[in-house]
Amino acid sequence: MLNFFSKPRIRGGIHAEERKAATATLPIVTHFPLPKKLFIPLQQHVGKPAEPLIRVGDKVLKGQLLAYSQGMISAPVHAPSSGTILDVNDYPAPHPSALPIRTIVLETDGKKQWIQSPTISDPFQLSPEDISLRVGAAGIVGLGGATFPTAVKLNMGRDNHVDTLIINGAECEPYLSCDDRQMQERAAQIIDGVRLMLHSMVTYSAVVAIEDNKPQAFLAMQKAALPYPLISVMQIPTRYPMGWDRQLIGYVTGKEVPIGCRSSEIGVTIHNVSTAYAVHKALRYGQPLVSRVVTVSGGAVARPMNIEVPLGTLISELFAFCDVNPSHVARIVMGGPMMGDSLPHTGLPTVKATSGILALTKAELKNTEEQPCIRCASCVSVCPAGLRPLDMANNIRMNQLDVAVDIGLKDCISCGCCSYICPSNIPLVQYFKYASGEVSARQQAQHKTEQTKKLMDARTARFERIARQQAEEERARLAAKAEREQRQSEQEVTS
């Protein structure tokens, strides 16, 4: 039983300047012109990339399966529009490195013709396992940014007998308002998706948690949930990073997720509001995840808005539609300004993780001139994970990564609170991202070395085994030869 009257302590966090007003009051734009080409990466989720099953020249329909999932932690990819497959090749990824990843290039035909999919009159008549299978087949992943396959979380919720489903409507990143608008405009569909998730997990309690800076979304969701007593809608304080799963679970339920454990192990699981809407469309209409709402905002955007766009749309197409002035753009960010990724150019596609694309001016960027630390401990006070950011950064500077790991590097969520609050403009979160990547690379190199050693040891053992076998065969051959010669000699003497 949840106690909503207690006020759990919120550890760390900041009150960042919101900058949501430019888009939060405008309806979602659904008439985005269909691009002539869509660039659809096969890796848009946590886990193994999807494996293509189409060929160049194939005609496809909207919603048709283009690439199937590999293994349990993976997700399929579907056609965001009808058209013709032009290529399956490497193309720059929407990542700061823009390194190429395998991508399907689809030339659209302008018809947006859906593939015929069987629909179900009442998806609540399906078994919980069948709902998970259909959600997985629809390619739905966490649309809050984590992109973990939703079907896997539903299965884990059922296997771990989760008693509480939390729907994350915090959207605490500055500028972003795509979830806010969906809650205002699509509340009934989101609640339907929540009910289907509950049915899939065999769970009987859901809480929709919305920051109190979104009163219209709160009222809309509260009204939509009113007929369903098992679904409650609550307001939570506006404080970044309130959308972090452990922070949200702690505030809503009073439970703490132990280090190294998943939330489902303590009876709680979290899904995003946009994910719930995608589940509704998949189960009610048989529509896989082929588009999403994206916030396009920032000082260089003349017409900021939330747009529903087909996945694979290039950022340049979004900027052209929103009248972005390229000469005013100082930085392009995918996601929010706190945890989002800076992108090198606009020739990159939108993917399932793209909640926002920001075109920021120089005036919007924080002064990056680093100054010496003044030992104010502000970074310690705002860290939601209870870490000591400055100590970790000092050890990283001295290349003592093992020490940084020992004092909590792996628990850092890269929320950026420490960098935001630092009066000396020390880019703490950049140190942690670099160190995390370096630790991961070292672990991979160590794993590769260990695997190589195992292979070499196995090769040596195999050669030794072959040598022993050959020696034994040679001894047996010589013994047999000696025995034949002995018998022959005895026969000659007898004769």
46, part of any domain: no
Same domain (yes/no): 193, 341: no
Q: Is 422 annotated as a binding-site member?
A: yes
172 is in an annotated binding site: no
Q: Does the annotation place 261 within a ligand binding site?
A: no
Between 198 and 12, the more confident residue is 198
Distance CA 237, CA 248 (A): 10
- Please indicate if the annotation marks 322 as binding a ligand: no
**Separation between Cα atoms, residue 147 and residue 273, nearest integer Å:** 13
Q: How many domains would you assign to the chain? A: 3
Task: Assign residue 173 the CATH number of its domain.
Answer: 3.40.50.11540
> Are 136 and 281 in the same domain?
yes
Please state the pTM of the whole predicted model.
0.87
Which CATH number belongs to the domain containing residue 332 in this structure? 3.10.20.600
- Residue 8 DSSP code: P
Residues 233 and 318 both lie in one domain: no
pLDDT (tens digit per residue) in 362-412: 999 877 788 999 999 999 999 999 999 999 999 999 999 999 999 999 899
| Whether residues 355 and 394 fall in one domain | no
Q: Which helix (H) or strand (E) holds 91?
A: strand 83-92
pLDDT tens digits for 200-237? 999 999 999 999 999 999 999 999 999 999 999 999 99
26 inside domain: yes
Q: How far apart are CA 425 and CA 407, in angstroms?
A: 22
Q: Are residues 234 and 312 in the same domain?
A: no
- The tens digit of pLDDT for each residue in 403-432 reads 999 999 989 989 999 999 999 999 998 899
Q: Is 428 domain-assigned?
A: yes
Closest alpha carbon to 207 in 242, 231, 227: 231
423, part of any domain: yes
- Strand, helix or coil for residue 145: coil
The reply to whether 148 and 206 lie within a common domain is yes
> Is 383 labelled as part of a ligand binding site?
yes
Residues 252 and 159 in one domain: yes
Same domain, 324 and 396: no
CA distances from 49 to 41, 70, 137, 273, 444 (A): 9, 7, 14, 25, 19
What gap in Å lies between CA 265 and CA 434, rounded to an integer?
A: 30
Q: Is 417 annotated as a binding residue?
A: no
Q: For residue 191, what are the domain limits? A: 1-30+130-286
Residue 41: inside a domain: no
**Tokens representing residue 15 in the block:** 């009150």
Looking at the structure, do residues 298 and 409 belong to the same domain, yes or no?
A: no
Do 218 and 179 share a domain, yes or no? yes
| Cα within 13 Å of Cα(135), Cβ side | 32
